[in-house]
């Protein structure tokens, strides 16, 4: 049912919780007046043009948009509040997964995929329900972007990237499997293609294009330029103004200084905003937390650097952009505190196959869809209903050796350096991967023991809550273990494990043969406290299919484009409520390309 507070004509620009509102406080928690700008800051005389286009944000979407503009002969200023070391933004830290439909890798593995099946999966998964047929609906353009992206993923996406030198691991991953009904959420087949080079490998061709353009003088980097306002002239966006930040030697991903040493104002007939989402700002995450999930977690860990702060969402809204689906977000439920943090409260996500048992904080096994790799949002709902902000994985060494992949370029060194043979060997040797072993040795969320009583004691000691009782936990594990001795079962998780083992890719590299959790030969036993990990903003600035930013009346604002996470990866929320995975980098690629090409066309002489 559509939320009336989000879709009513009188409330389309007002958040239910009163944040990110047109006349209220900035989303970043800073009143507009504290930035030194009143409403007059958005009106100016006809400015001189410093470039043909200004791109705000040097993440993946910004690099793609800039490369398209430069290829069309446009002069571009590429701005970012971070130092040059953080060029590429969040994409650098990603695992590099990309969603393709009916790819050669799928066909080689015997996976029968089609645009029709992918479309059904996407729309069942997204659950668009906010005015899909209403041009002023929050999901109107999001659904159109979804259709366009599916066409892209089924055809041109792989050909385009392959032509730029991007390559993939031949084993296709099966993320977000759903595990319930055919018309429910999830991927019906494996579609998660790991890029050789991980996130940096996806960035590489676009960074190269932009740097080559910079060497020729058509692109100018302006790092440490923090945009505080968009300039409008006669209803069109004509530039930006903001604060010059002091030089910073901060390493990639680490917090940089916000000390201001000056101001700037730059003008261009085109401004493209590609500034990312809110995942690094836990205050904003809590303020926009969906009411359908109850109160926000009291404790979360953070999956993106602190510079993913959401500032430009509010600044854009104050300049007249329409911000939609602000309560839709994508946070992972399998987060571990990083033993060697790079940014504040740095967490790492586990990409697990379906063998680990999943329990709430009190030791009650989750029902469907509470199975690893099945349904992130569905499991988040289960956790929030439990009354606690963490849960437990319970497994053994045999499972962790084969089934654990850690998200992030730095957690997959062979893959990041494009050592395919080394990566495949690490998956096929069935020994603990070194990054996983480092978490076992140093991770604060791990409890490891040779027997269940000691494991339970360690779990209770870790949390200090003493919520886990030994015998109820033993009964649940034993009941599960009794189901593995023949080919029949009433346990849906075991059915899922067998389904996984039927897929050659999982059988080879991701799913351990079915066995008893309490089998001493498979030990020691492992319990992992899983935390909620902030990651992606699924809503954002509403854009049409050209990437043009829309106003409250649903009309394009002249000279203004947006792409990537700040635009909900297209249209203000191409994923709806849920992501099929491999679609965040892909959304940056597609929306950045579309916005860059459309902006170049608009400025054609």
pLDDT given at position 227:
98
**Span 237-246, mean pLDDT?**
98
Q: 578 pLDDT band (50/70/90 cuts)?
A: very high
**Each residue's pLDDT tens digit, 465-519:** 999 999 999 999 999 999 999 899 999 999 999 999 999 999 999 999 999 999 9
Please choose, from the candidates 277, 317, 234, 268, the residue with its C-alpha nearest in 3D space to the C-alpha of residue 550: 317
In the structure, what pLDDT confidence band is assigned to residue 4 with cuts at 50, 70 and 90? very low
φ and ψ of 17, to 5 deg: -95, 5
Residue 431's pLDDT is 87
pLDDT, residue 18, reads 31
**The predicted structure's pLDDT at residue 27:** 35
What is the model's pLDDT at position 428? Answer: 83
- Say if residue 22's pLDDT is above 90: no
Task: Find all residues with CB under 8 Å of 58, minimum gap 6, and list them.
Answer: 66, 78, 79, 80, 82, 86, 87, 88, 89, 221, 223
pLDDT for position 159? 98
- Give dist(CA 340, CA 515) in Å, integer: 33
Q: How confident is the model at residue 426 (pLDDT cuts 50, 70, 90)?
A: confident
539-549, pLDDT tens digit by residue? 999 999 999 99
Model confidence at 3: pLDDT above 80: no
Of 15-19, 76-80, 312-316, 572-576, the one with minimum mean pLDDT is 15-19
- The sign one gets for the Cα dihedral 485, 487, 491, 497 is positive
User: What confidence category does residue 427 fall into, taking pLDDT thresholds of 50, 70 and 90?
Assistant: confident
Task: Give the pLDDT of residue 17.
Answer: 30
Mean pLDDT across the chain: 92
What domains appear along the chain, each with residue ranges and CATH number?
57-275+310-328+538-603 (3.50.50.60), 335-533 (3.90.700)
Q: What's the confidence (pLDDT) of residue 429?
A: 79
Task: Identify the CA nearest to 168 among candidates 604, 582, 528, 478.
Answer: 582
pLDDT at position 23 is 31
**pLDDT computed for residue 582 by the predictor:** 96
Over 70: is that where the pLDDT of 49 sits? yes
The predicted structure's pLDDT at residue 48: 73
What's the CA gap between 561 and 274, in Å, rounded?
A: 9
Residue 13 to residue 516: CA distance in whole angstroms: 53
Closest CA to 297 of 350, 357, 345: 345
Sort 69 into a burial class: Cβ within 10 Å, 0-12 / 13-18 / 19+. buried
Structure tokens at 476: 């649940």
Share of the chain above pLDDT 90, in %: 90
Residue 1: per-residue pLDDT? 32
- What would the mean pLDDT of 100-127 be, rounded to a whole number? 98
Whether 16 contacts 39, CB under 8 Å: no
Average pLDDT over residues 295-311: 97
**pLDDT tens track for 188-234:** 999 999 999 999 999 999 999 999 999 999 999 999 999 999 999 99
CA distance 241 to 231: 7
pLDDT surpassing 90 at residue 28: no
- Kindly tell me if the per-residue pLDDT of 385 is higher than 70: yes
Q: Check residue 342 and give its pLDDT.
A: 97
Question: At residue 19, does pLDDT exceed 50?
Answer: no
Give one word for 575, left, alpha or beta, with left for phi > 0 and alpha for psi -120 to 50.
alpha
pLDDT value at 36 more than 80? no
Higher pLDDT: 21 or 254? It is 254
């Amino acid at each position: 049912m559509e939320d009336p507070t989000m879709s009513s004509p009188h409330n389309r620009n007002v958040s239910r919780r009163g944040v990110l509102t047109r006349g209220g406080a900035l989303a970043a928690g800073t009143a507009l007046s504290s930035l030194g700008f009143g409403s007059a800051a958005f009106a100016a005389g006809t400015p001189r043009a410093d470039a043909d286009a200004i791109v705000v944000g040097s993440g993946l979407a910004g690099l793609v948009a800039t490369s398209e503009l430069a290829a069309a002969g446009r002069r571009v200023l590429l701005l970012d509040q971070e130092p040059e070391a953080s060029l590429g933004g969040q994409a650098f830290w990603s695992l590099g997964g990309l969603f393709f439909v009916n790819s050669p890798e799928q066909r080689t593995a015997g996976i029968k995929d089609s645009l029709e099946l992918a479309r059904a999966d996407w729309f069942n998964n997204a659950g668009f329900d906010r005015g899909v047929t209403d041009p002023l609906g929050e999901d109107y353009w999001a659904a159109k972007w979804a259709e366009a992206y599916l066409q892209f993923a089924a055809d041109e996406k792989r050909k385009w990237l392959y032509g730029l030198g991007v390559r993939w691991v031949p084993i296709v991953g099966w993320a977000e499997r759903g595990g319930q009904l055919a018309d429910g959420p999830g991927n019906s087949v494996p579609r998660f293609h790991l890029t050789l080079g991980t996130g940096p490998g996806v960035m590489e061709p676009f960074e190269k294009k932009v740097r080559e353009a910079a060497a020729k003088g058509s692109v100018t980097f302006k790092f440490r330029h923090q945009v505080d306002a968009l300039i409008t002239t006669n209803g069109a966006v004509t530039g930006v103004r903001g604060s010059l930040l002091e030089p910073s030697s901060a390493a990639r991903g680490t917090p940089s200084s916000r000390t201001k040493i000056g101001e700037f104002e730059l003008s261009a007939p085109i401004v493209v905003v590609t500034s990312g989402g809110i995942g690094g700002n836990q205050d904003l995450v809590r303020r926009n937390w969906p009411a359908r999930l109850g109160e926000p977690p009291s404790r979360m860990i953070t999956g993106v650097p602190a510079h993913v702060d959401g500032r430009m969402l509010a600044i854009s809204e104050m300049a007249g952009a329409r911000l939609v689906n602000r309560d839709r977000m994508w946070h992972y439920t399998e987060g571990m505190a990083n033993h060697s943090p790079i940014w504040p409260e740095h967490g790492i996500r586990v990409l697990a196959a379906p063998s680990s048992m999943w329990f709430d904080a009190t030791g009650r096994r989750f029902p469907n869809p509470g199975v690893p790799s099945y349904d992130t949002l569905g499991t988040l709902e289960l956790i929030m209903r439990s009354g606690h902000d963490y849960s437990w994985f319970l497994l053994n060494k045999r499972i962790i050796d084969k089934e654990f992949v850690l998200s992030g370029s730095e957690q997959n060194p062979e893959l990041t350096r494009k050592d395919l043979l080394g990566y495949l060997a690490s998956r096929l040797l069935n020994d603990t991967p070194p990054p996983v072993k480092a978490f076992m040795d140093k991770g604060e969320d791990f409890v490891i023991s040779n027997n269940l009583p000691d494991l339970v004691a360690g779990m209770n000691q870790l949390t200090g809550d003493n919520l886990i009782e030994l015998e109820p936990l033993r009964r649940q594990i034993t009941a599960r273990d009794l189901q593995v001795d023949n080919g029949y079962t009433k346990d849906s998780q075991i059915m899922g494990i067998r389904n996984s083992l039927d897929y050659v890719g999982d059988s080879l590299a991701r799913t351990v043969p079915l066995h008893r959790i309490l089998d001493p030969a498979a030990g020691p036993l492992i319990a992992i406290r899983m935390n909620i990990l902030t990651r992606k903003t699924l809503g954002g600035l509403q854009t049409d299919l050209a990437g043009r930013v829309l106003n409250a009346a649903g009309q394009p604002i002249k000279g203004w484009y947006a792409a990537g996470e700040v635009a909900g990866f297209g249209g203000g929320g191409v994923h709806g409520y849920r992501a099929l995975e491999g679609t965040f980098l892909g959304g940056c690629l597609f929306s950045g390309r579309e916005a860059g090409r459309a902006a170049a066309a608009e400025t054609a002489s």
